[in-house]
Amino acid sequence: MTSTLDPATTRTPLMGQGINRLDAIAKVTGEARYSGEYPLDGMIYGWVVQAPIAKGRIRDISPASTLSMPGVLAVLDYRNAPRLSDAGDSELLLLQGDRVYYRGEAVAVVLAQSLEQARAGADALDVSYLAESHDVLLRADHPDMYTPELVNPNFPSASNVGDVDAALAAAEVVIDRVYATPAEHNNPMEPHATTAHWNGDTLLVFDSNQGASSVQMSLCRLFDLPRSAVQVKSEYVGGGFGAKGSARPPVVLASMAARLLGRPVRVTLTRQQMFAMVGYRTPTIQQVRLGSDWSGRLQALDHLAYSQTSKILEFAEQTAVVSRMMYATPNLRTAHRLLPLDVPTPRWMRAPGEAPGSFALESAMDELAQACNVDPIELRIRNEPDLEPDSGRPFSSRNLVACLREGARRFGWDDRDPRPAIRQDGRWRIGSGMASSTYPARNAPSTCQVQARSDGTFEVRITASDIGTGARTALTQIAADALRVELDRVELRIGDSDFGPAMIAGGSMGTASWSWAVVKACRDLLGQLDMHSGAVPAGGLLARADTKDDVAAQADVTRHAFGAQFLEVAVDIRTGEVRVPRMIGVFAAGHIVNARTARSQLIGGMIMGLGMALLEESLMDLRFGDYLNHDLAGYHVASNADVRSIEVSWIDEQDDQTNPSGIKGIGEIGIVGTAAAIANAVWHATGRRQRTLPIRPDRVIS
Ligand code: MOS
């Protein structure tokens, strides 16, 4: 037994193994219970009524005809809804007044004995509105555009090193381009769902989210309750992509309705309702200016990003932040502008910031490579920084170059003819492209309890969330490794706010942050066991860990995972169809805990990146002030038919300055760079640069 923090000396062969998901059988047999599936006695079903106007007031709600319908018990609206306190998220102050801030906002919940009766009652509910003219379109020259102080999650909105304008004026080569990305909607398989039940003044909710303690905290603030009075359970979650990263309307509406009726209430969203109520990725307009010498060495990098927010809450996407750490340049400026509109608040969607930001940066780098006649990989290697360009801090580890070289080798990049639009295969023009990838590797404080039971088994309790990532399996491996026991002696319990505060499954920080608390508690427990000569006393032994101080005491380094994406496209220049027959991703993301689930995360990210490049687009209907496509027939995500060969591998990276397990997150990095790599390959195939996503057929042939 050892208590050293050196990961190299503490790992057992369990770490890294591609163990099958421990919950796989529970999931495929239906034994795993999701938040909309808990049967409670006397359950009432709620159906959300949404505003059909983007801005204005409710003139009147006449519930009489709805209340006379079979099974309908009540209509919850702003006149009878419980009063809510501030939650630090004004979008959650639902049914508190007659104002409508965006189309699709909840204005009432019809409560009935069955879901069908609630839906029929909602269809019949008589609500009249006083509509006002709305403003819903992002444009860079809008007079209300402003500079936010901070961008998500808490970066300064602007940065400046050197004199970018002077360096651009003096540069031998200048690339000055505008790129645009559309609004995109998170579409996890499981729509948001909550089952809420009050027992006197204590509230129990089963809720589909990415972090039960975060939702617990929001409910405490909204309903003015101490933590001990609110329990949030989310044992199984069918995906989130950021849309479940914080409390969303269903949990608030269900909790209010359950309070009003004194009975358990379930509120589930339909796929269509999700398009207005749970967040989305902001559209962006980005200007990137690069100045270099003829050899491609950067003299200046300027990245200015425009995005939108709502009028009730500021969410500022960190679009240009990726440009602060990617490439070496003596003159570096980034800035963000934000436009409040009569729209729902944009939120997190897989790799907020890095996903749209890297599309612009990595496309511009490809344009620079073309202008300088330098190979795009060589261009990136020439601009590899020793220290973080913006802050001057050292990287805890940085293996971008290793990923570029390994990716090039696996792809066969050396044989590539750099000239565009010269390869043809029947009706297809063929091209290849690449882009760098990156994502921050941060940690947040978490708590954990580990119990040694007298039968030689261990119970680990942590408010972690497995949203389909495999975190449950990875954390069990980490615990067994730390305890030096076989996997089957560890029972891991997650998804219950009673286990104490913990980081959400977000920002690619979940497994990294939780692992730290798990390892700390396990080591404490091993120490206790040592004092008992290895024997568990009758009452068992318990260790608790809180990593608040450990996380705060970290070295002053900057932590990021890196990667490189290489792929081939086939473009039909008559129809504009783009296919991606082959994708290769190589990543350097610290220690990989579970080879199987990690591979799935990285592949999943790349597939989502393919969708981002070619398919995903929420189109604003200016007349109605809402996104036009509200289902998976109108909003296309990449499916099996879109994906051919995807190969993922990783560099064996040892990082002793991230956390005791040497883990960097892998949930988001897979999507970063994919869209640029596809746009770069489409240029190589056709000779035409695509600067607006998605790369639709009409854009290819126009
Ligand atoms: Mo992720 S978009 O940080 O949940």
* Whole-angstrom distance, CA of residue 586 vs CA of residue 670: 9
DSSP code of residue 147: -
- What distance in angstroms lies between residue 264's CA and the mean position of ligand 1's atoms? 30
| Whole-number pLDDT of residue 469 | 97
pLDDT of residue 594: 98
Beta bridge partners of 62: 126
630-666: pLDDT as tens digits: 999 999 999 989 999 999 999 999 999 999 999 999 9
Does 210 contact ligand 1 (Cβ within 6 A)? yes
pLDDT > 50? residue 7 = no
**Rg (the chain; Cα; Å):** 26
- Determine the angle formed by the axes of helices 674-686 and 354-372, rounding to 10 degrees: 30
pLDDT for residue 12? 81
- The tally of CA atoms less than 13 A away on the side-chain side of residue 179 is 33
Is the Cβ atom of 467 under 6 angstroms away from ligand 1? no
Residue 10: pLDDT band with limits 50, 70, 90:
low
Between the CA of 72 and the centroid of ligand 1 the distance, in Å, is 37
| Residue 3, pLDDT score | 35
Nearest atom (ligand 1) to Cα of 347: 2
Which residues are CB-neighbours of 409 under 8 A, at least 6 positions away?
none
Question: Rounded to 5, what percent of the chain is helix, strand, coil?
Answer: 30, 25, 45
The strand pairing partners of 403, in sequence order, are none
Residue 504 CA, ligand 1 centroid: distance in Å = 9
**Active site members:** 668
Query: CA 249 to CA 631: how far, in whole Å?
Result: 19
Ligand 1 atom nearest 210 alpha carbon? 4
Residues 6+ apart with CB under 8 A from 104: 50, 51, 273, 275, 276, 277, 344, 626
| Whether 308 contacts 343, CB under 8 Å | yes
Name the residue of 152, 318, 348 whose CB sits within 8 Å of the most ligand 1 atoms, as the mutation to test its pocket: 348
Torsion, Cα of 413, 416, 421, 425 (10° steps): -90
Mean per-residue pLDDT, 560-569? 98
Provide φ and ψ at 512, rounded to 5°.
Answer: -60, -50
Which residue owns the Cα nearest ligand 1 atom 4? 242
* Position in ligand 1 atom list of the atom nearest CA 350: 2
As a whole-number percent, the residues of the chain with pLDDT over 90 amount to 96
Is 280 near ligand 1, meaning CB less than 6 Å away? no
pLDDT tens digits, 487-518: 999 999 999 999 999 999 999 999 999 999 99
Q: Is the CB of 685 inside a 6 Å radius of any atom of ligand 1?
A: no
Question: In terms of pLDDT, which residue wins out, 533 or 355?
Answer: 355
CB of 356 sitting under 6 A from ligand 1: no
**What b/e string do you get for 232-267 counting C-beta neighbours within 10 Å, with b at 16 or more?**
bbbbbbbbbbbbbbbbbbbbbbbbbbbbbbebbbbb
The whole-number average pLDDT for the span 569-573 is: 97
Does 352 contact ligand 1 (Cβ within 6 A)? yes
CA separation, residue 659 to residues 12, 220, 594, 655 (Å): 17, 31, 17, 8
- Cα dihedral sign, 281-286-291-292: positive
Confidence of residue 8 (pLDDT cuts 50, 70, 90): very low
- Å from CA of 547 to ligand 1 middle: 21
Residue to probe by mutation, ligand 1, list 668, 669, 671, 672, most atoms within 8 Å of CB: 668
348 lines ligand 1 (CB under 6 A): yes
**Are 359 and 352 spatial neighbours (Cβ–Cβ below 8 Å)?**
no
C-alpha–C-alpha distance, residues 635 and 164, integer Å: 40
Centre of ligand 1 from the C-alpha of residue 436, in Å: 20
CA of 278 to the centre of ligand 1 (A): 13
The best mutation among 208, 234, 350 to test binding of ligand 1, ranked by most ligand atoms within 8 Å of the C-beta, falls on 350
431 to each of 209, 220, 367, 553, 677, how far by Cα in Å?
41, 54, 15, 48, 11
C-beta of 349 in contact with ligand 1 (< 6 A): yes
Q: What is the pLDDT of residues 309-328, one digit of tens each?
A: 999 999 999 999 999 999 99
As a whole number, the mean pLDDT across the chain is 96
Listed residue (396, 492, 386, 490) closest to 443, CA to CA:
396
Is the per-residue pLDDT at 359 higher than 60? Answer: yes
In the chain the domains, ranked by start, together with CATH numbers, are 2-32+444-552 (3.30.365.10), 36-133+189-277 (3.30.365.10), 393-442+554-702 (3.30.365.10)
| Per-residue pLDDT reduced to its tens digit, 100-135 | 999 999 999 999 999 999 999 999 999 999 999 999
| pLDDT value of position 1 | 33
Q: Residue 529 above 90 pLDDT?
A: yes
Residue 400 pLDDT > 90: yes
- The minimum-distance atom of ligand 1 relative to the CA of 352 is 2
Are 408 and 566 in contact by the 8 Å Cβ rule? The answer is yes
CA distance 324 to 302: 10
CA of 401 to the centre of ligand 1 (A): 26
Cis-peptide, bond into residue 188, ω within 30° of zero: no
How far is the centre of ligand 1, averaged over its atoms, from the C-alpha of 197 (Å)? 28
Is residue 171 in contact with ligand 1, taking CB distance under 6 Å?
Answer: no
Q: What pLDDT does 2 receive?
A: 34
| Cβ 191 vs Cβ 247: under 8 Å | no
Atom of ligand 1 minimally distant from the CA of 244: 4
Any atom of ligand 1 within 6 Å of the Cβ of 350:
yes
Query: Which atom of ligand 1 is the closest one to the Cα of 505?
Result: 4
Asked if pLDDT for residue 233 goes beyond 80, the answer is: yes
